[in-house]
C-alpha cells in the first residue's frame, strides 16, 4: 500500500493543556465508558433545532470526532485526485481549521466511505488509525508527523471486511491496537513516543471493537474483544490472564463492533449476528467465566440483544442497547432476559438501525441515526423521553434511507457531530441549546 505523506497548509497554534476534565479526547470519552461528566446542561429543548455554534466542511467517514483542549479532531477521505485519508484539527470554539494532515491510501474494503477509528489524543499527541492500517502519531498542536507505521505491512495483518476500526488505546507509555497481525500479533503494544514494538499477544483475527482498561482484583486489566475471544491481559506486558470464547459457531460476517462494557464484575458484549454474552469476573483473582450467552435463530429473529454499531450502557443490574433493526431493549444482566423493548428512538424496522448512548448522571443522551438528539431517562420501567431536537442532517445512504453513524463527542457543554459533508458544534448548555 502507498503511504506517501502530504502536508496541507497548516496553521500553527498555541494550545492550552490538552488534558481537561471536560474534554472528550478519545473514543467514548475520557474513560472510554460513554459517560459525560459536565454540569450546567440544558434539561429540555424548547425548539426543534439545536443551536449550531459553528459548521466546518469535512469529507466522508465513519469516525467520530474527539475533543482535547482547543482542538476538535476528525478524519475523512478525499477523492479529488489521488485517494487520501485526512486528519483535521478544528478550533473547538470557532470551527476554524487549525491544520490538516493527509496521506495517500488505496481502499480495499467494503463500504469504502472513509476512516472508521476515532483519533486518540494524549499528552499533546494525536494517534490516528486509518482504514487500511496506516498509523500516525502526530503533534496534536501542529499536525507534524512524530512517527508513523504501516501496520498491515509490519504485522502482516489479515484483512477484515470493513477495515481497521478499533480506536487506539493509550496506557501509560504504550499505545495499544487491535489489528489481527500474524505470528501471535492480534493485539500489539507500541512505545507511544517512538512507535517501537513493546509486546504482542495471541493469534486471532481482529475485530472492530476498541480495547479498554478495567480494574479486576485491584489490578489494571486490558480487555480486548477480537473475532473469537474476549481476553483479559496485563496491559504492560501482554500476558494473558484469562480468555473466554465468543464465536462458538459464527453465523455471518463477524460484526464484533461494540466496546465491552463493565459493571459489578460483569462484562457485556454483543454482536449483530452472533448475539450477546455476559462474562463474570472473579473479584479476587484474575479469572473469568461465561455467565450466559444467547442469540436468536436468525438476523431478523433475535434474542437478548444483537447490537450493530452502538455500544450499550449497563447500570443497576440492567443493560440498555439497540438491536439489529433499531429496537431499543432493556435486559437483565444476570440472565439476558428482556425486560422491555422501545421503537420510538430510531425509524422502525430498518436494517442496522441504531443510536449512540451517553450517560450524564441520571440523564441519558441519545444521538440517533437521523441526526436527532434525545434527552431521556432509562430504567427497568421503560424509556422516558424528555425532549428531542435536530442537530445534523443524515447524508450516508443505507438500506433505503440516509443515516449519521459516527459517534458524537460531548465537551465544553456542546455536542460535536459529523456527517459526510460537515462537522457541527451544537450548544447544549443550560439556556443556550435553542
- The band of 432, judged by pLDDT with boundaries at 50, 70 and 90, is confident
Q: Chain-wide mean pLDDT for the chain?
A: 92
Pairing of strands 409-411, 363-368: unpaired
Mean pLDDT, range 322-335, rounded to an integer:
96
Q: Are 201 and 187 in contact (CB under 8 A)?
A: yes
Mean pLDDT, range 227-249, rounded to an integer:
94
pLDDT, tens digit (0-9, with 9 covering 90-100), for 20-39:
348 999 999 999 999 999 99
pLDDT, tens digit (0-9, with 9 covering 90-100), for 207-228:
999 999 999 999 999 999 999 9
Q: State pTM to two decimals.
A: 0.94
Residue from 352, 346, 224, 231 nearest 287 by CA:
231
Q: Are 244 and 230 in contact (CB under 8 A)?
A: yes
| Beta-carbon count within 10 A of 16 CB | 8
CA 244/CA 112 separation, integer angstroms: 32
Pairing of strands 396-398, 382-390: unpaired
Lowest-pLDDT range, 92-96, 294-298, 365-369, 379-383?
294-298
CA 4 from centroid of its chain's CA atoms? 27
Architecture category of domain 5-427 in CATH = 7 Propeller (2.130)
Kindly tell me if the per-residue pLDDT of 270 is higher than 90.
yes
Q: What is the pLDDT of residue 277?
A: 97
Mean pLDDT, range 132-160, rounded to an integer:
96
Per 3-state DSSP, the chain is made up of helix, strand and coil in percentages (nearest 5) of 0, 45, 55
Lowest-pLDDT range, 86-100, 188-202, 242-256, 403-417?
242-256
Amino acid at each position: 500500500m502507498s503511504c506517501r505523506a502530504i502536508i496541507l497548509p497548516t496553521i500553527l497554534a498555541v494550545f492550552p493543556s490538552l488534558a481537561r476534565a471536560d474534554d472528550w479526547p478519545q473514543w467514548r470519552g475520557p474513560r472510554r465508558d460513554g459517560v459525560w461528566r459536565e454540569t450546567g446542561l440544558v434539561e429540555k429543548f424548547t425548539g426543534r433545532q439545536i443551536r449550531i455554534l459553528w459548521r466546518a466542511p469535512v469529507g466522508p467517514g465513519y469516525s467520530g470526532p474527539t475533543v482535547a483542549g482547543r482542538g476538535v479532531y476528525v478524519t475523512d477521505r478525499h477523492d479529488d485526485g489521488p485517494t487520501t485519508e485526512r486528519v483535521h484539527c478544528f478550533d473547538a470554539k470557532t470551527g476554524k481549521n487549525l491544520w490538516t494532515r493527509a496521506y495517500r491510501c488505496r481502499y480495499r474494503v467494503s463500504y469504502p466511505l472513509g476512516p472508521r477509528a476515532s483519533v486518540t489524543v494524549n499528552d499533546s499527541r494525536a494517534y490516528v488509525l486509518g482504514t487500511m492500517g496506516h498509523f500516525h502519531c502526530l503533534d496534536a498542536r501542529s499536525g507534524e508527523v512524530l512517527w508513523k507505521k504501516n501496520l498491515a505491512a509490519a504485522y502482516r495483518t489479515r484483512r477484515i471486511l470493513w477495515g481497521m476500526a478499533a480506536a487506539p488505546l493509550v496506557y501509560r507509555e504504550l499505545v495499544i491496537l487491535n489489528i489481527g497481525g500474524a505470528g501471535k500479533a492480534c493485539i500489539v503494544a507500541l512505545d507511544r513516543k517512538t512507535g517501537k514494538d513493546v509486546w504482542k499477544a495471541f493469534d486471532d483475527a481482529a475485530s472492530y471493537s476498541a480495547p479498554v482498561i478495567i480494574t479486576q482484583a485491584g489490578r489494571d486489566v486490558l480487555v480486548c474483544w477480537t473475532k473469537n475471544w474476549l481476553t483479559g491481559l496485563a496491559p504492560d506486558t501482554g500476558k494473558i490472564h484469562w480468555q473466554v470464547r465468543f464465536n462458538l459457531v459464527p453465523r455471518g460476517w463477524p460484526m464484533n463492533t461494540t466496546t465491552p462494557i463493565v459493571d459489578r464484575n460483569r462484562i457485556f458484549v454483543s454482536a449483530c449476528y452472533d448475539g450477546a454474552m455476559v462474562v463474570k469476573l472473579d473479584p479476587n483473582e484474575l479469572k473469568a467465566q461465561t455467565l450466559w450467552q444467547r442469540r436468536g435463530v436468525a438476523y431478523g429473529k433475535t434474542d437478548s440483544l444483537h447490537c450493530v454499531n452502538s455500544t450499550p450502557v449497563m447500570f443497576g443490574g440492567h443493560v440498555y442497547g439497540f438491536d439489529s433493526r433499531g429496537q431499543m431493549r432493556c435486559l437483565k444482566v444476570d440472565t439476558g432476559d428482556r425486560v422491555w423493548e422501545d421503537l420510538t428512538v430510531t425509524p422502525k424496522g430498518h436494517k442496522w438501525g441504531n443510536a449512540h448512548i451517553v450517560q450524564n448522571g441520571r440523564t441519558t443522551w441519545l444521538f440517533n441515526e437521523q441526526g436527532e438528539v434525545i434527552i431521556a431517562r432509562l430504567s427497568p420501567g421503560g424509556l422516558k423521553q424528555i425532549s428531542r431536537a435536530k442537530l445534523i442532517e443524515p447524508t450516508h445512504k443505507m438500506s433505503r434511507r440516509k443515516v449519521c453513524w459516527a459517534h458524537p463527542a460531548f465537551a465544553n457543554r456542546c455536542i460535536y457531530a459529523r456527517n459526510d459533508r460537515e462537522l457541527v458544534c451544537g450548544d447544549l448548555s443550560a439556556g443556550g441549546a435553542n
